Structure formats: structure tokens, C-alpha cells
Structure 1
């Protein structure tokens, strides 16, 4: 096919010929420096267009091609040249996974870290962070070495500090950020998560970034505060929020640095309140398939925040998430509240990891006390979790307990609840059923007998079989063989 007159539009063999010519010119330029800056930048722009489709662009993806592009990216004194080469490299590593190992094996990941240390603009931050992010997939990259010897954690913290400072300004937080600024933050947060994932023994090196992540989390505009339409509902985990939650996943909230950031002295509950609000928005916005991937990490972060929080913050979280009187007007999980939505997803078969995260959070909010746990969520929800954890609970823990210890140590009487469903007993509605025949009663007794015998074998409960007890007390009457049944 004949080459078109438009830049980078040739296809087939003509495209391969053009790509080869450009790569040869860029390689020769490394030795001679003969290309004028404008010409060099034009060649890189044309190469970027050709590199968007790997067919007939083989010279870009070879070891020599990657070497040429990397030298222009990291050794050039011109930012325009460097950024042009970085764009081609990013496309190459994205489209041809084999090039990632070429990049890492040649030590170019270390060079990328060095450039990231010098980056003070969003364009560089975006391109270099994406390049490093891609190099963490399907390669032998040594992230701990990049942290210890090439300042990766420090560079990420510095870039996050710049974003935090921008959002801390009232005028900046209300203004719409430039697209490249938002894209740079997105790539930095993605790289931060991967770096902490692959360097778990160096988490302390990432701790300085905690305060900046929290600042961004507190100051970024929530989706509900942005203009949305019925056809475009709020999606709470749109960037940066989902990425901010992921970035916090591998950090330790017990350190003094994290404590100051997560529980600021001026407003200790502000971070927890923001997380709870995000959770509320998310439980309304996402369906089953999205809940598993998006909301599970948020619930895990809330558990960590609750675990290491001072008492007032723990109280605030519990007041927001534990079932209230409104929830107990019906069987727990039926109301249109945040606690009920969480309980409904406790056993959601399409979101098993979310269910695990929710059950752990509620167990933690119950001081890891199985009795409080049952009181808070009802035995119906608590039993499976306790069984999986091998926690046996005494029979009296599931009785109609209506006496609790108040904050002042005085025992208070509260409205009794159904220990299984968590509903107030005085709001339960009687179930209208037709009178059972004697034959139906006998079948039901047999079924209950078998059920309780199976439960005793599992160890979930340790109570006397009620059918056996009734027989021992003479409450069952043997029917004569010739008696007619209704």
C-alpha cells in the first residue's frame, strides 16, 4: 500500500520501512547528535503513532529499539525529547509484554526511578510512573532494591505531597484539576500500591506518604458533590477514591506517623467519617459484581482504622455501622439503612470476599467477644462466622438477654430482642399458619430430631435435643397403631 501524506499513516510494508528509518535515525543521533530538536521530536511523535499498533512496527520492540528509546528518555537534556521517547516506551511495554523484561533486565527500571526523583511536573510524573508500573507486571523487577537504592518510596511520597498540597488549598480543591494532573495522580497511586505489595518488608519506607494519601482522601471532592444525572449516577470509587483506598491497604496504622495522619488531633473522627460516607455511597451505587472488587478493600480499611483507633473514634464508627433501633423494628437486614445493607451482603453468594470483610469488621466492633457479637447482629448472622473460627458459644449466649451494662457500669434494661433475628420481640408479627395434623406434627418432630443431632455433631451448639427433652418429660404421646389420623 502506498504511504499516505499524513504523518504516521502508512500501513503494511510501507509502515515497517518508515519505522525502520526512524529507529535508525534516532540510534545514529545518539552518537552524532546531528538531529535538530524539532526534527527529533517530530520523529518521536511519528514513531508514537506507529507504535500504537505493533503490526509492522517490529524495530520498536526489539532489545536495540528499547535501548535507543531509553537513552533518549533518560539521558536527553531536552524535556520534550525525553517525554516523546517515554510515550513510545509506555506504549511498547503496554502492547508487548516481552519488552517489560527487556526493560528491567537492562537496568532501565533504576534509570526510571532516577528520573522520577527529578520529576517536578505532571507530564513526567505520569509517564515515568506508568513506565515503572508496567515494569512490575510479568518481570523479575526487584522492587525492594528500587526502594533501598533508588529512592522509589521517597519519590512517590514527594509526588503525593505535591497533590496533597494542591488539594489542601480551598481554591484548588474546588477547581477542576487539569486532566494531566489527575492522570498523574492516578498512575502514582497505582504504582504506590504495587510497590508496597512487592516490597512488604520495606513498608516503613512508605510511611511518610500516609499523611499525603489521607490529605487527598479528606479533601478530594466526593462524587455526590459533583454534577451527576440520572443516567450518570455517582460512582464513589471513580479516581482517585478507589485508588486511595488501595494505596492504604498495605500500610500499618499502628505507627506513630499513621496515627497522626489517620486520627488528627483537631478532628480525630474525620477520616473515619469520610470512609463511612464513602461506604454508604458505595453500598447504594454498586451491584453485586462491583461490590466484590470495589467495596471489599474499603471495609478492610475501615476494620484497620477501627482496630487502631482511640475510643471516641471507635464509638463513632460503631454508631454508624451497628444496627440501630430502626433496624430492629424488623428482622436485621431488612431495613433501608447502611447497617442493613451491610448485613444483607454478609451472605451474598456473588460477593464472598465482601461478606468475609463485613463479618470481620462486625466481630471487631464487638470487641471480638462472641456474646456481644451475637447481641449485635443476631445468631443467624453470627453462627457461621463463629463456626468457621472454631468459637463455641454457651447456650445462654443466645437467650432473650435484655440486660446490658451501660457506660457508667450500671446495668440497664433494654427492649428484649429475638436472639436469632435481632428483631425486637414486641415488633414481631405472629405467623398465621393452618393447624398441623398429628401426622404433620410427628414428621416435624422427626425432622427436628435429626437436625439437632446433626448440629450437636458439628459443635455449633451444645444443647439438649428439644425433641428428646420433650419425650423425657412426657410431652409426646404414642399413638395406637389403629388410631385414625386426620
Structure 2
């Protein structure tokens, strides 16, 4: 029985399509017209909700070419693609229909068409992606019986062929992907990501897929705002894979290829640079996966590449002519975003990246970015600036305070990161000794009141100075108004 909950026009279309299954009354043009009309009417959850298992069976009959002796004829393929679009829309809009699809046994059919054409890749990948949500289907059977991993790898590798011939250094003339190619690639990558998330035991199978993904990412033409499909899916997929990938006979990996060891991370930095300059406030969090990927690459990189990443992402000494974060460099953009109140995940990601670029050393971190930018991260991660002495690379013992206040032998302000000799002169008149003493006495009282609250156990610096004889041992009562 056909569901009675459909709108009349949808119910009539489904009824006619169902009748043909038994009586074979329709020619290919009529099937195409009916399915096209049906697709145009499935636009909301209300349209998809009434679909029953029987309705899904009807769509699958046409989608997987069960009514044609010539399954590869142009008209049959066209009918199939429209039926697949109807299916994909229903499965997207009404989650319960995904289990119907699984129970009917058509998940294997979706896997088997992945390599048939770009359209089949797009629609098959989209349907399988939807089956990773709200179903009891076990994708292990597709890995075992339908070579799912191989099919996905083959499709992504085919997309990479168009970009394999030119290296990153000449990527200014990169070719754009046609819309169908881009959409098919996007769906394949979404499926790959979810399979790695929900079936991590199979992630190692996709190790060979790292190389074509990197080739596409390195050579694909970028939009003015680059963080959009398929670039975002390329980045997400890399995060889900076992980087850096299988080494070749000489120990080189896809992430750091022998011919162009810098091309991948420099490309990612270029994307990050473009993204942070063009993102709107409500889009800032879309940059989090990219920052995460760069962090992972830094962790895996050999020393020369680590040094390159530090040079590209940390403030240069030339920027210290003014407080850090004031220039138009990528490093300044990152510093400003590291304190963003609008994008907490990006703020955390960038701060973590800068901390790792500082070799996870709190003192080096403060020296690199200034305490003003470092303080929040250090406090939230319980990472106080180390006290005492420490050794530099030459084995000499140095004061950590000096390490934070000198860069290349030049004195810097540890709060702002600016060179001392470039700071504006203090135009305020110097305080008299009496004014200094008065302010110290006020400070003493404020500290005592803070200690009395029990909220913090603080050492009163004025009291300590008095004990050491650096102030006269006298304190005046300060009025509340003061």
C-alpha cells in the first residue's frame, strides 16, 4: 500500500511509478518526466516525512536501473540519476527513511555505483554519507564485500590527476574544478571523513589517499575566501587520516615530498593568510580545522620545516618597532585572533599553535608574542612563567626575565613585545618621592583588604618592601573614597 500521508501530487506520482513496476507501462521519457516532477516537489521535511519503506523501494527500483535490459543506455542512466537525487533528498530530509533504505539491502548498490561516473560518485557518496547517521548499518560489510576503500581512493585519485602535472611554485595558474567535479569530490571527501570517524579500524587503508588529497589541495584554484567546499573537506579529510602517511624507500612521506618538501605546509599557510584576512566575524570558527592541521604538521615536521613554520607564523623582529599585533602581517592577524571574544575555538587553536611554535616553553612563548597575548592562555592552562634560572642553547645560564626581555640582544617590553628603544617617551611628569610614598601606602591598604577577603593568598609587595627597609615603616589609613 502506498502511504496516504503524501500530498496529492506526490502521492499520484508515486502511484504511477509503482504501477509501472508491475505492468511496464512507461517509456523512458515518461519515467524521466515523472521522476523530475517528483524531485522538484520533495523540498522540505514535511514532503519527505510520509515516505514509507515501500516508497523507498519504488525509488530504488528506478535509481539502480532494475527495470531496464540496457542499464548503460543514456536514457536509462538519466532516469537513474534523477531517481538517485529523489532518494538523496528524502534520506536527507527524513532520517527514518535511511533505515528503510538499509533494510531493503540497497547500501551495497550505492557502493557499487561509486566508480561508474561523476554523477554516480556524487550521489552514491552522498547517500552512503547519510547512512552513517541514524542507521544500524555496519559499513564493515562494504569494506569487505564492495571494496569501498578502493573505490573512494580511486575517485579521489582521479580528481588529483588534473592537478598532478604542475608543482606548487607555479600554482598561480591553477585550474578551477568544474562544478560537477567539485561537488563529486566534496561528497567523496565527506564520506571519507565520516568513515574515518566512525570506523577508525579502517583508517590505515586510506594511507595512500593522503597523496592525492594533498595534490588537489596544493593545486586547486582558491576562491577569494578559500575556506569553502571542497577546500574545507580536503582539510578535514587530512585531519582524519594517519599523517604523515607511508614513507617511500628513501623515507619521504606525502606530507614532506622529496621534490618539494615545503609545498604542502606553505600552501596551508597561504590559505590561512587569505582566510583570516577575509573571514567575517560569524565565519571565524571555520578556520579551526586549518589551524589544527598546521599544528599537526608542525608536530610531525623535521627541524628545517619547523623552523620555516616558526618564521612564517611568529612575529618577526622587524615587527617589534611597535607593540606586537599592530602590523598587517599574518602573525599579527593570528595574535589579534588569539584574543577574539567571538571565536573561542579559534582563539584556543591559535594560542595552542603559537605555544607549540614556541617549543611549548612558557618563557619562550612570552618572549615570542608578549605577555599581553600570552597571559590568557598561560592562566587557563595553569602554565605560569617559570622562575629561577634556565640554560640557553649555548649552555649559558641566564635569567628567565632577561630571556623574556631581550631578542637578538635588544631590550623588549615583555608585556607588549615592543623594543624598548622604539617605545614613545613618557610625557607625564615624574612623581615626587612624597607622591610615590603616598601611592605605595594606598597600595598597601588595598592589598590588605584583598587578603582579608580570603579569596586570594597574596604577598603584599609594599609590606615586603617595608620589611626589607625599602620604605619607611608607616602607613596611613586610606578612606574608602580614596
Q: CA deviation at 1:200?
A: 2.1
Answer yes or no: is the 8 Å Cα contact 2:441–2:462 preserved in 1. Answer: no
RMSD: 3.5
The partner residue of 1:156 within 132, 152, 157 is 152
SS of 2:470's partner is coil
What SS does the corresponding residue of 2:411 show, helix, strand or coil?
coil
Match of 1:322 in 2: 314
Q: Does the 8 Å CA contact 1:69/1:89 hold for their aligned counterparts? A: yes
Indicate the residue corresponding to 1:363 in structure 2: 355
SS at match of 1:277: helix
- After superposition, residues 403-442 of structure 1 pair within 5 angstroms as 414-433=409-428, 435=431, 439-442=438-441
Q: 1:417 to 1:253 in 2, by over 3 A?
A: same
**Do structure 1's residue 49 and structure 2's residue 48 form an aligned pair?**
no
Residues 214-253 of structure 1 mapped to structure 2, 5 A cutoff: 214-223=214-223, 234-253=224-243
Helix, strand or coil at the partner of 1:262: coil
Alignment of 1:68 onto 2:76: no
Question: Where do 1:376-391 residues align within 5 Å?
Answer: 376-391=368-383
Cα distance in 1 for residues equivalent to 2:290 and 2:118: 28
Distance 2:269 2:195 in 1: 27
Q: Distance in 1 between matches of 2:157 and 2:247?
A: 15
CA distance 1:236–1:449, change in 2 (3 Å): farther
Map 1:132-211 to 2 at 5 A.
132-169=128-165, 174-211=174-211
Question: Structure 1 residues 287 and 191, CA, compared in 2 at 3 Å: closer, same or farther?
Answer: same
Change (3 A) 1:483 1:71: closer
Question: How many corresponding residue pairs?
Answer: 446
CA displacement at 1:181 relative to structure 2: 1.6
| 1:286-306 alpha-carbon deviations (Å, 9 max, x no partner) | 1332111x1111110000111
Query: 2:16 maps to what in 1?
Result: 22
CA distance in 1 between counterparts of 2:317 and 2:441 reads 39
Structure 2 equivalent of residue 91 of structure 1: 89
Match status 1:263 vs 2:256: yes
Q: Equivalent residues in 2 for 1:110-125 (5 A)?
A: 110-116=108-114, 119-125=115-121
- CA–CA distance in 1 between the matches of 2:330 and 2:426? 28
Q: Is the 8 A contact 2:48 2:94 kept in 1?
A: no
The equivalent residue for 1:289 is 282
Deviation, structure 1 residue 393 = 3.8
**Change beyond 3 A, Cα 1:417–1:138:** same
Per-residue CA deviations over 1:322-364 (Å, capped at 9, x if unaligned) read 1111322222222222111111111212111112111221222
CA distance in 2, matches of 1:402, 1:54: 59
Equivalent residue number for residue 3 of structure 2: none
How far apart, in 2, do the equivalents of 1:126 and 1:281 lie?
A: 29
Q: 1:139 to 1:253 in 2, by over 3 A?
A: same
Q: Does structure 2 retain, via aligned residues, the 8 Å contact 1:92–1:99? A: yes
Whole-angstrom distance in 1 between the partners of 2:320 and 2:372: 14
CA contact under 8 A between 1:371 and 1:393: conserved in structure 2? Answer: yes
How does 1:295-374 map onto structure 2 within 5 Å?
295-374=287-366
Taking a change above 3 Å as real, the CA distance of residues 87 and 139 of structure 1, as seen in their structure-2 partners, is same
* More deviation, 167-176/465-474: 167-176
Q: Is the 8 A contact 1:90 1:131 kept in 2?
A: yes
CA distance in 2, matches of 1:348, 1:145: 46
Q: Does 1:212 align with 2:227?
A: no
Question: What does the per-residue CA deviation read over 1:152-197, in whole Å, with 9 as the maximum and x for residues that have no partner?
Answer: 2222111111110022356997554432122211212222222222
Q: Offset of 1:432 from its aligned partner?
A: 4.1
- The gaps in structure 2 that reach 5 residues or longer are 1-5, 389-398
